[in-house]
Chain A
Amino acid sequence: MTLENRNPDPLTKNIVFMNLVDEVINATRANSVWPLTFGLACCAIEMMATGAAKYDIDRFGSGPFRATPRQSDLMIVAGTVTHKMAPRVKRLYDQMPEPKYVIAMGGCVIRGGPYVKFGYHVVKGVDLIIPVDVYVPGCPPRPEALLEGLFKIQKLMRREKILDRTRRTTKPEIYQPV
């Protein structure tokens, strides 16, 4: 007796096996999203609270805040990004290996927050310098909100195909530090 592939769809006909592989790999990736250790302002305090015992981000596999961008999957931009800090943030992002994800945490990171009108020194949204996957609003967002942001990232990861990484590779070049 032979196994018959009854999938009529020409696009997905031969990738039944790959779907299984994708699911296994994505499950491992989504349950070990290692964030990069860095905080820029007060949102970082809330990020630390999320990492501490009460909210315990470790329950979802994101406990190990890595001290180097080379070992991280996720960049949580927590706090006001100033023009002075922008090239550093961009460099850290560039040093992270693909596939990489970005959470913009808090009002300042999303669109400048309270500095939106008179903040001469604030980048009006970190998406002007790096591509952002999930926006977590708040000033600062509560730890629950950050956890929700992490779940959204995990959802993104679970949707991905190992053979199709175009979403991760076709990113617009937004800003090159001088």
Chain B
Amino acid sequence: MPALTFEQIVATLKSEHGDLIAGEDAASTMPHVLIDPVKAQSGNRFVELTTFCRDDPRLSFDLLNCLSAVDYPDRDVIEVVYMLDSTSHKHRLVLKAPLSRKEPEIPTVENVWRTADWHEREAYDLLGVRFRGHHNLVRILCAEDWEGHPLRKDYVIPEEYHGIKNVVY
């Protein structure tokens, strides 16, 4: 199978899961597809979409390159970014799911790509995104009893941790 262009990938996605897709941006430096956060929350739809990305012979995104999250306080949004690669077709796709900043929650994709397990734990640790259905959603980088999510833009550095002063010069 040949590599698909971004437009062809979007068309393939829309043919099966058009209701989940809120838009796309082909002109961006990183062309991406926006996922409708509300519809992705309901039931199993988002996992079906990602499984489709992985299993459909035209797309065959067998590699989750990176899963990260970005905080946009001015838009009141935390975006979860999925970067997918196809090692057989040599094409790629970026999915972005803008979640509400108050309660960022999205179904886990750890059963679709095993890579997502630790990536989702990291996104939870640093930005507080809850991945529904994750089997072990605990902090991965910060200490277990750390308070807050450090990569949020409104995070305040604690004055001390376990009696060790956090001197700020």
**A interface vs B, CB < 8 Å?**
83-84, 86-87, 111-112, 116-118, 120-121, 123-125, 128-129, 175-178
Q: What chain B residues lie within 8 Å of A84 (beta carbons)? A: 142-143
A121 to B166, CA, bound (A): 9
- A83-B161, A117-B169 known, 20 other contacts, Cβ within 8 Å: A83-B162, A84-B142, A84-B143, A86-B162, A111-B169, A118-B157, A120-B150, A120-B158, A120-B166, A121-B150, A124-B165, A124-B167, A125-B167, A128-B165, A128-B167, A129-B164, A175-B164, A177-B162, A178-B162, A178-B163
Q: Which applies to chain B's interface (DSSP): helix, strand, loop or mixed?
A: loop
Judge whether A121 and B164 touch: CB under 8 Å.
Answer: no
Q: What chain A residues lie within 8 Å of B168 (beta carbons)? A: 117
Closest to B157 in A: A120
A87 to B162, CA, bound (A): 9
Judge whether A116 and B164 touch: CB under 8 Å.
Answer: no
Q: Which applies to chain A's interface (DSSP): helix, strand, loop or mixed?
A: loop
Judge whether B164 and A123 touch: CB under 8 Å.
Answer: yes
**B interface vs A, CB < 8 Å?**
141-143, 150, 155, 157-158, 161-169
A125 to B142, CA, bound (A): 18
Closest to A121 in B: B142
* Chain A CB within 10 A, most for which of B150, B158, B166: B166
Q: What chain B residues lie within 8 Å of A125 (beta carbons)? A: 167
Ordered by A's residue number, 5 sampled pairs between the chains whose C-beta atoms are within 8 Å are A121-B150, A124-B165, A128-B167, A175-B163, A175-B164
Task: Give the Cβ gap from A129 to chain B, nearest Cβ, in Å.
Answer: 6
Q: What chain A residues lie within 8 Å of B158 (beta carbons)? A: 120
Q: What chain A residues lie within 8 Å of B161 (beta carbons)? A: 83
Q: What chain B residues lie within 8 Å of A117 (beta carbons)? A: 168-169
Q: Which of A83, A111, A120 contacts B164 (CB 8 A)?
A: A83
Q: What chain B residues lie within 8 Å of A128 (beta carbons)? A: 164-165, 167
A176 to B161, CA, bound (A): 12
A177 to B163, CA, bound (A): 8
Judge whether A124 and B166 touch: CB under 8 Å.
Answer: yes
A116 to B167, CA, bound (A): 8
